[in-house]
Every structure is written in C-alpha cells, then in structure tokens.
Amino acid sequence: MNNFKNLRGTVDLLPEELIKWQNIEKLIVDQLFRASVKEIRTPIIEMTELFMRGIGEATDVVSKEMYTFLDRGERSCTLRPEGTASVVRALIQNGISSKPSQKLWYMGPMFRYERPQAGRQRQFHQLGVEFVGYESVRSDIEIITLAWDILEKLGIKELNLEINTLGDQTDRSNFKDAFLKWLEVNKDSLDIESQKRIDKNPLRILDTKNVQTKSILEDAPRLFDFLSEKSIERYLIIKEKLKLLKIPFIENFNLVRGLDYYTHTAFEITSGALGSQSTVCGGGRYDNLISQMGGTETPAIGFAIGLERLILLSGKDLEQSRETDIYIVNKGFHAETLAMDLSRKLRNYDLKTELDLSGGSFSKQFKKANKIKSKSIIVIGDDEASNQEFIIRLFNNKNSENQEQKIAIEDSIKLEEWINKNLLFKKTSEK
C-alpha cells in the first residue's frame, strides 16, 4: 500500500492548531471591518502572463519560484505567488474607473517554490490589504499604521518598521544608469549571486545579505540622491507624520523589495523574535502597476502579512478555544431522539453545545463532559424521556443542586430563562 504524504513545504493544519489561526483571523477581520476595509476574493489560479507582467520577469518570484503548468487546454496557468497582481486584474476586469477608490483585503494561500524552513513554506498564507485609487501621503500612513496596529494588537514583540522610498520611474531610471556604471567597475568584488543580478535585476543587489557585498555597496551611488524634489518632499512628510503618530521606524536605503511594481514608499515590518525569516509584513506603493496592466492610471498602496510568521510570533493566549456551554448526556432509544431534537434547538442560541453520540454509560458521558470542562450539562435518560422532560444543571459547581432544573421538552421559555440566568447572563457580566 502507498504511504501518501503531503508535498514538501506544505502543511496540514489540525483542529488544535487551527484554534490559534481562527482567533488571529477573527481579530484581523474585525480590525479591518472597523477600518472600513472590504474583502475581495480572487481565484488561486491565474494566467501565468499576469504575474510575469505584474510582478516582473526578472524577479526571483517569477523566474524561480512559481508553480506553473499547462492545463488540459494547453494554457499556461500559475498558482498565485502573491495577491496584488490578482486584485489589480480583478479590478480592471470589473471596471475600475466606475469605482476609482477602494480599500480591500484578502486572506488565503499563496504558492512559491522556495526552500522550506521555519517560517518559510511553499504553500503559505497571506493577509493582504490594498488601497486602490489613493494617492495622498495620508493613505501611505494609513496603510502602514493599519499593518502596525494589527501586529501590535496580536501582541507581537520586538517589531521594527523599516521604510524607504524608491521614487518614481524617472528617478529610478536615472539612478539605474549611474548604478550600472558603478557596478561595471566593481563587479568582481561582488558575490556571485549579486553578479548574476547585474543584467537581470540590478536594484535587488542593494538588498543583498552578503556581508562583503554590503560593505562594498556603501560606496555605491545612493538611490536617494537621484530623487526629484517632489519625491523627497513626499518621503519627508511620511517620516514626519510617522513621528507625530509615534510609530517608531528606521530608514533603510537598501530596502528595495522583491517585486518590481513598487514606486515611492516601500516598507517592511520585521520581528527580532523570528529567526532568519524575520519579515512579517512587506508592502509599498505601486502607482504604475494598474496602467501597466491595461487599466486607467490609478495610484495604489498595500501590504501583505505572512500568517505562518504571525502564528510563530503570537502568544499562548490566542490558543484558547471557547469553552463548551452545554454537554448533552443521553442514553436510551427515545432519550437519544429527544436529545438530538434538543441539540438542534440549542443551536439557535449563541451557545457552544455538544451532543454525546457515544451511547456509552452515563458515568462515561459525565466523565467526558468533565474532561472538556463543559459549563453545564443536560441529562436525558429513559425516565426523563417517558416524562418528556430533561434535567439541566451547571457542571462542577458547588451550588449546582440549586441551579438544577427539570424542564419540559416543549417548554422553550423556561429553557431560555435558565440559559439567560446561568450562561448568557454570566457571559455578558464577565466581559
């Protein structure tokens, strides 16, 4: 027999681990709702061309990491390596000019054929936010603070915000000319990987992790010195506003990001608590992407947070699952049918209930209720079934006898009163 295993770089998320995922996702979605950001869902699979044009053919993501294949109709398809290109495609396709400014978020799996390690997978998950149709400096700040606040709300420690500006296309092309000249002279002193990048994607050399190359680059021309006055002013205002909002940041002139579409603001948030894959969030402005992809000229800015890295960073308190409110102990042919009926009714309330389906002895069922720390139990046996009633009481409570009550199966009002008094009422006062 075959022993099937998941593919390298993919993981199964089992129920116990998913509690943390669900708690984190809920916190994020609530926060985005409160900031009036709306959800968008795009397909996981797209035409390969979309990413080649959108992200850039020379980037590592497109040239080395995409899951690309021909479908049965001989069309080249790719599993999305990121979400921005897909969102842009969806907006253009659905008539971007009719809704010129939109704040959108998405969450879901992305695929990159990278070498797996802690915090780096081949199928991973991102939360992405895109503000499309926003040009003002305030939208840059709003995007950065949104990302920062989500991470802070989740209790992530040792956060560092790094910012840079990449200027506009003219600024960058002026810099590129000068940088290429410098590279020609200094080529042999660079590491092999950086040398390979000279022809394909020279800007990414700035991002190198190689210590020797880094020190040589200190004498290279700086992109900042090629920025127009307008681009500089934009950047200075961003720095000033971040200071006013008390968001700590450091400037990193070598931060160029791995995707080609960025203009002006580029930023990353790292955490010292992560290992080598320390970037939790990356983003920036992409004012030319939409027109490059065939849409009307539309400025935009966004970010994406890697959820696996968030999970690694967030604390134990997010591993708590909601307690069971009512455990239904039942035994006997008629009792079991009544219990099923009651269990369906209870799902009309904001309660977490569990119907025992084991058919085991009462003591075993009580033990199970005890084990999962259910707040209360309902008991239905043959006696209760023949009287068309059930017993409900708080579990593991010294005064439980006082709260124990027999309720007729049909008496929804009495049941509701008991729930309100002992469960829902308690819950609201706990808040």
Question: Taking CB under 6 A as the criterion, which residues in 252-271 touch ligand HAM?
Answer: 258-259
Question: Taking CB under 6 A as the criterion, which residues in 178-207 touch ligand HAM?
Answer: none
**Burial track 39-65 (b if 16+ CB lie within 10 A, e otherwise):** ebebeeebebebbbbbbbeebbbbeeb
- Between 44 and 340, name the residue whose CB sits nearer to ligand HAM: 44
Query: 340's torsion region: left (phi>0), alpha (psi -120 to 50) or beta?
Result: alpha
38-39 and 250-251 strand pairing: unpaired
In angstroms, rounded to a whole number, what is the distance separating the alpha carbons of residues 205 and 213?
Answer: 9
Could you tell me the smallest distance in angstroms from the CB atom of residue 124 to ligand HAM? 3
Say which residues have a Cβ less than 8 Å from residue 224's Cβ, sequence separation at least 6: 165, 232, 253
Question: Taking CB under 6 A as the criterion, which residues in 124-183 touch ligand HAM?
Answer: 124, 126, 128, 130
Q: Is 302 in the site for ligand HAM (CB under 6 A)?
A: yes
Q: Is 287 in the site for ligand HAM (CB under 6 A)?
A: no
Could you tell me the smallest distance in angstroms from the CB atom of residue 49 to ligand HAM? 17
Could you tell me the smallest distance in angstroms from the CB atom of residue 4 to ligand HAM? 23
- Between 286 and 327, name the residue whose CB sits nearer to ligand HAM: 286
- Between 304 and 369, name the residue whose CB sits nearer to ligand HAM: 304
- Between 130 and 384, name the residue whose CB sits nearer to ligand HAM: 130
Specify the stretch interacting with ligand HAM by CB under 6 A; choose among 90-98, 112-120, 226-234, 366-374: 112-120
Chain residue whose CB lies nearest ligand HAM: 306
38-39 and 326-330 strand pairing: unpaired
Per CB under 6 A, the list member of 40, 53, 78, 82 interacting with ligand HAM is 82
Partnered with residue 406 across adjacent β-strands are 391
Query: 117's torsion region: left (phi>0), alpha (psi -120 to 50) or beta?
Result: beta
Helices (H), 277-411: 289-292, 307-313, 333-346, 362-371, 382-386, 400-403
Closest CA to 45 of 62, 67, 60, 25: 67
Site string for ligand HAM, 205-224 (x = CB under 6 A): --------------------
CA distances from 154 to 124, 192, 319, 404 (A): 19, 40, 12, 40
- Between 308 and 356, name the residue whose CB sits nearer to ligand HAM: 308
Give the other-Cβ count within 10 Å of 212's Cβ: 12
Give me the residue label for tokens 């993981």: 11
Question: Taking CB under 6 A as the criterion, which residues in 306-345 touch ligand HAM?
Answer: 306, 308-309
Give the other-Cβ count within 10 Å of 7's Cβ: 8
Q: Is 299 in the site for ligand HAM (CB under 6 A)?
A: no
**Burial track 378-389 (b if 16+ CB lie within 10 A, e otherwise):** bbbbeebbeeeb
- Between 56 and 128, name the residue whose CB sits nearer to ligand HAM: 128
Could you tell me the smallest distance in angstroms from the CB atom of residue 117 to ligand HAM? 9
- Between 124 and 390, name the residue whose CB sits nearer to ligand HAM: 124
Helices (H), 210-330: 211-217, 229-244, 289-292, 307-313
- Between 128 and 295, name the residue whose CB sits nearer to ligand HAM: 128
Specify the stretch interacting with ligand HAM by CB under 6 A; choose among 121-129, 154-162, 208-216, 332-340: 121-129
- Between 280 and 329, name the residue whose CB sits nearer to ligand HAM: 280
Could you tell me the smallest distance in angstroms from the CB atom of residue 308 to ligand HAM? 5
Q: How far is CA 256 from the centre of its chain?
A: 22
Q: Which helix (H) or strand (E) segment is 265 a member of?
A: strand 263-271
Specify the stretch interacting with ligand HAM by CB under 6 A; choose among 66-74, 113-121, 145-153, 316-324: 113-121
Per CB under 6 A, the list member of 83, 202, 221, 295 interacting with ligand HAM is 83
- Between 86 and 213, name the residue whose CB sits nearer to ligand HAM: 86
Residues found near ligand HAM in the complex (CB under 6 A): 82-84, 112, 114, 119-121, 124, 126, 128, 130, 258-259, 279-284, 302-304, 306, 308-309
